[in-house]
Amino acid sequence: MTRTAVLGLGSWGTTFAVVLADAGGKVRLWGRDAAVCAEVNERHTNARYLGETPLPDSIEASTDHAAVLDGAEVVVLAVPSQTLRDNLGVWRPALPPGAVLVSLMKGVEADSHLRMSQVVADVAAVGADRVAVVSGPNLAREIAVRQPTATVVACEDEDAAELVAQACSAPYFRPYTNTDVVGVELGGAVKNVIALAVGIAEGMGLGDNTKATIITRGLAETARLGAALGAEPATLAGLAGLGDLVATCASPLSRNRTLGVALGQGLTLDQALAAARHTAEAVKSCRPILELARAHGVEMPITEQVVELVHGGATVHEMGARLLGRPRKPEGA
């Protein structure tokens, strides 16, 4: 029985705790809201994020991070990507020696342009062989009700990846292992930006041709950035690349797609964020992703236009016109 700590009581952190418990592990959850922790312990629900979906009785929740971390073999980090550094700095003294640290976050850190696994290694002062990432077509609400899916567990150390994969291998949740951490993380980060663009098209009333074009060219952007950073092409064609991209762009459960729909319908960013209520990672990650790409000489036109829309004041119509007005070139270029 693997002893696991999950730091973060949002939808994906709570859902991954469900997976770990269903896989036979002993799971403790940390959250800063005492009322939500009490709800998890007493009612076995997390209504804010998962409605009335029942959670396993074996999951324990607490606001005391040291108690949650005590004796954990696997520590799962599930907070918004731009808050990871500050949170992990607080948790670091209580991290169990030798524990594998697992990132569920999908983003690139502002200013540093580090991927989440790099932030974990930096703040926790551990080697890359102790940092794993989990990513794939993993919409939390579907998994919380035990609908089948697969995911990728990536770590430079194959044994560490296998430890995490065993810990989350449930009847409905199939993990595959990989050593391409770069590819798995980039697939998860960039797909949020592309999903926001697909949502905008949906909100504008555009059809499947437009959305398929954005998805396909979005994958091309991801692949170019991945190649520049040393990712394996097969990774971006797999679950953590194409699989996650399709799920996030197609599903109304996707926060980033949903935010895009609101923007496409004419809401301002502030109005759309207020309506969404939950974190849409693309808003804060799109600019550092674009800056990372520019630093490596990689063109990412869809990402660039999302940044212009979210942070530069461009309209959705200007966004479309700029993309369609770009010089033509061979598809593979």
Q: Check if 191 is active-site.
A: yes
Cα Dmax for the chain: 60
Distance CA 279, CA 285 (A): 11
Distance CA 43, CA 55 (A): 9
Indicate the pairing of strand 60-62 with strand 74-77.
unpaired
Given a contact cutoff of 8 angstroms between Cβ atoms, the answer to whether 264 and 210 are in contact is no
Distance CA 130, CA 117 (A): 10
Closest of 9, 162, 136 to residue 74, by C-alpha: 162
Given a contact cutoff of 8 angstroms between Cβ atoms, the answer to whether 270 and 209 are in contact is no
Closest of 267, 298, 294, 270 to residue 283, by C-alpha: 270
Query: Which residues is 101 bridged to in the sheet?
Result: 75, 131
Given a contact cutoff of 8 angstroms between Cβ atoms, the answer to whether 144 and 170 are in contact is no
Show the tokens assigned to 326: 């770009």
Distance CA 155, CA 49 (A): 29
Dihedral sign from CA coordinates of 263, 267, 271, 275: negative
Active-site annotation holder among 191, 211, 284, 329? 191
Stated length of the chain: 333
Active-site residue list: 191
